Amino acid sequence: MTDACIRRARPLLGTLVEISAHGSDEDAVRLAVDEAFRMVEAVQRLMSYHDPESDVSRINREAARQPVAVASHTWRVLDAAQSIARASDGLFDITVAPTLVAFGFLPQHADFPRASGQGDWRHVELLAERRVRLARRLCLDLGGIAKGYAVDRAIGVLQSHGMRAARVNAGGDLRVFGAPMQTVHIRRPGAPTELMPLVELGEGAAATSADYYTARRRSGRWVTPLIDPRTGVSCPRGRSVTVFAPDCMTADALTKVVHADPQRAIGILPKFSARALMLHDDDDLDVCKLYTLADAGRPWQTHWLAENARHV
Amino acid sequence: MRIVFVATAAVLAPVAAFAVDYLSAEQAFKLMFPDADHFEPREFPLNAAQMQELEAQGVRARSVHWTVSVAQRAGAPLGYVVVDNVIGKSELITYAVGIGLDGAIKQVEVLSYRESHGQEIRLPAWRRQFVGKTAASSLHSGDDIANISGATLSCSHVTEGVKRIVAVVALARRSGGLP
């Protein structure tokens, strides 16, 4: 059996998106990879907070006044976001955008109505015929979930084109299928260029959220885009969370749940057949701690304390 | 989902530098303009006035030396390709931008991604060792660490670079430096 493999990367979704696919014929693989990139572009156009023409911007501009109809892709992401918000009692919440704007992680749009500061995910109403209404003056950001969805859809395109095996990695949110077990390397939060082989993945998704590329000082304190929606405060620094789930959208969103409350995440992740691991670098002790949530119903396991992995 | 946690002390051997070559410049040119039979490199040095013109558009020109490859078929231009590098905190990204005759971006492809934990990413000598390397010989060089999950790496410097290239090509065409 002949094997054609193509591996490409393009700047999309604010990061580098890498697609790799195996098939029997080079032209077919190239076409599939091109189509998969096109799908990622389509998701970006619909769900970007920055793009004034996106569904998200249309919701933010108008949906507090009147229901806004959205594309089916956007609808599926909103629906999943609301399910995860419900299951986690608001530890995941797509209405944290005003906090992200205040922290400087999202731009201020002059034509969005000023958010009232009242209300949360429960005031995002998904109506018939894919229409969205905001029962308060809210501002939505799908940045915590849409990248995972884009990965899932790209994988879907590759599968429908008959690829034997493939993987899509959108800057750390990745999904694989068809290959033998592959090692997933996770970046060490205290030294992100150190890649640690912690998991073997054969089928499914992994998504990591951490603050090592984004944390910044603001008015004398550290802020990160990982927000606890209940308090509007950034989650503790120096922690990296990776969630494994059958699909990447779920994995992506659940990383925020674990960041906001690792203890409550123990009961929430099994509802989505998800597993997780956390890395925490302790600068004082110069150790990296690994915690895993590998079995449903069991608490976090501390596996080892890694010494001397840091390069001086 | 098929997953195995490899949580033993034995795995504590972090990889601290890796590189992926996706495409050679030639492969990228062909991919972007499959109908072209020739790619003509044109040097386009920016003068002070042109640098200022770019700055006025909000584009940091960064370099005075630009090479724009003109994709041609039977001598007629089809579009342009520019290859550029950007350096991030710990990564060096080489990418190519294809631009149509209408001045619009046709395609952006990453040619290579190199990452290192040290400061050598900022050393010209370290970067020079990759110049002129074609990807064809080492297309699978990064396959042993294919799946990296981590916090999202911003590629805003690539986005800025793409904008800069679009502006430089537009300027080159206005000034008669390109067909």
Average per-residue pLDDT in chain B?
Answer: 83
- The 10s digit of each residue's pLDDT in A14-59 is 999 999 999 999 999 999 999 999 999 999 999 999 999 999 999 9
More confident residue, A3 or A311: A3
Which pLDDT score, from 0 to 100, does residue B8 have?
Answer: 54
Residue A307, pLDDT above cutoff 70 = no
Q: Is A16 on the interface with B (CB under 8 A)?
A: yes
Burial class (CB in 10 A: 0-12, 13-18, 19+), A60: buried
- Whether the CA torsion A73, A79, A84, A90 is positive or negative: it is positive
Q: Is B84 on the interface with A (CB under 8 A)?
A: no
Residue A119, pLDDT above cutoff 70 = yes
Taking residues B60-84, what's their average pLDDT? 93
Residue A245 structure tokens = 């789930």
Which pLDDT score, from 0 to 100, does residue B132 have?
Answer: 46
- The 10s digit of each residue's pLDDT in A162-182 is 999 999 999 999 999 998 888
Which pLDDT score, from 0 to 100, does residue A51 have?
Answer: 94
| Chain A nearest CA to B176, separation (Å) | 30
| Chain B nearest CA to A131, separation (Å) | 31
Which pLDDT score, from 0 to 100, does residue B131 have?
Answer: 52
Which pLDDT score, from 0 to 100, does residue B165 have?
Answer: 94
Kindly list the residues from chain A whose CB atom is less than 8 angstroms away from the CB atom of residue B145.
183, 185, 195, 197
Q: What are phi and psi of B47, to 5 degrees?
A: -90, 175
Taking residues A219-240, what's their average pLDDT? 88
Please say whether the structural domain A55-134 has been given the CATH code 1.10.3980.10: yes
What is the count of residue pairs from A and B with beta carbons less than 8 Å apart? 185
Residue A282, pLDDT above cutoff 90 = no
Q: Is B22 on the interface with A (CB under 8 A)?
A: yes
Q: Which of A183, A245, A292 sits opposite B7 (nearest CB)?
A: A292
* Complex-level ipTM: 0.88
Q: Look up residue A109 and give its DSSP letter.
A: P
In this structure, are residues B81 and B39 in contact, taking their beta carbons and an 8 Å threshold? yes
Residue A204, pLDDT above cutoff 70 = yes
In this structure, are residues A87 and A103 in contact, taking their beta carbons and an 8 Å threshold? no
Rounded to an integer, what distance in angstroms lies between the CA atom of residue A149 and that of residue A80? 10
| Lowest mean pLDDT across A198-207, A215-224, A267-276, B167-176 | A215-224
Rounded to an integer, what distance in angstroms lies between the CA atom of residue B81 and that of residue B41? 9
Q: How confident is the model at residue B126 (pLDDT cuts 50, 70, 90)?
A: low
Residue A305, pLDDT above cutoff 80 = no
Q: Is B4 on the interface with A (CB under 8 A)?
A: yes
Tokens 């200022």 belong to B52
Question: A193, B90: Cβ pair inside 8 Å?
Answer: yes
Question: B149, A303: Cβ pair inside 8 Å?
Answer: no
Average per-residue pLDDT in chain A?
Answer: 92
| Chain B nearest CA to A9, separation (Å) | 5
More confident residue, B133 or A169: A169
Q: Is A44 on the interface with B (CB under 8 A)?
A: no
Q: What are phi and psi of B4, to 5 degrees?
A: -135, 125
Q: Is B162 on the interface with A (CB under 8 A)?
A: yes
Tokens 């674990």 belong to A258
Q: Is B119 on the interface with A (CB under 8 A)?
A: no
In this structure, are residues A229 and A259 in contact, taking their beta carbons and an 8 Å threshold? no
Residue B138, pLDDT above cutoff 50 = no
| Chain B nearest CA to A98, separation (Å) | 21
Which pLDDT score, from 0 to 100, does residue A17 have?
Answer: 97
84-123 in chain A: CB under 8 A from chain B: none
Q: Which residues contact A279 (CB under 8 A, 6 or more apart)?
A: A186, A188, A189, A196, A210, A239, A240, A242, A288, A289, A290, A291
Taking residues A190-204, what's their average pLDDT? 88
Residue B137, pLDDT above cutoff 70 = no
Taking residues B67-88, what's their average pLDDT? 94
- The 10s digit of each residue's pLDDT in B6-52 is 755 445 566 667 788 899 999 999 999 999 999 999 999 899 999 99
Q: How confident is the model at residue A256 (pLDDT cuts 50, 70, 90)?
A: very high
Residue B86, pLDDT above cutoff 50 = yes
Which pLDDT score, from 0 to 100, does residue B136 have?
Answer: 39
| Chain B nearest CA to A16, separation (Å) | 7
Q: Is B21 on the interface with A (CB under 8 A)?
A: no
Q: Is A192 on the interface with B (CB under 8 A)?
A: yes
| Chain B nearest CA to A15, separation (Å) | 5
Tokens 């640098």 belong to B51
246-265 in chain A: CB under 8 A from chain B: 246
Q: Which of B116, B147, B158 sits opposite A183 (nearest CB)?
A: B147
In percent, how much of chain A has pLDDT > 70? 96
Q: Is A27 on the interface with B (CB under 8 A)?
A: no
Taking residues A216-233, what's their average pLDDT? 87
Q: Look up residue A262 and give its DSSP letter.
A: H
Which pLDDT score, from 0 to 100, does residue A182 have?
Answer: 87
Question: What residue of B is the nearest CA neighbor of A288?
Answer: B12
Taking residues A246-257, what's their average pLDDT? 98
Strand duo A287-293 + A4-12: pairing: unpaired
Query: Structural domain boundaries of chain B?
Result: 20-131+153-174
Question: What residue of B is the nearest CA neighbor of A204?
Answer: B1
Which pLDDT score, from 0 to 100, does residue A10 have?
Answer: 96
- The 10s digit of each residue's pLDDT in A52-106 is 999 999 999 999 999 999 999 999 999 999 999 999 999 999 999 999 998 989 9
Q: Is A204 on the interface with B (CB under 8 A)?
A: yes
Which pLDDT score, from 0 to 100, does residue A221 have?
Answer: 84
| Lowest mean pLDDT across A90-104, A291-305, B57-71 | A291-305
Question: A186, B155: Cβ pair inside 8 Å?
Answer: no
Q: Is B109 on the interface with A (CB under 8 A)?
A: yes
Question: A209, B151: Cβ pair inside 8 Å?
Answer: yes
CATH number assigned to the domain covering A180-312: 3.10.520.10
Q: Which residues sit opposite A201 in a β-bridge?
A: A182, B3
Entry pTM? 0.92
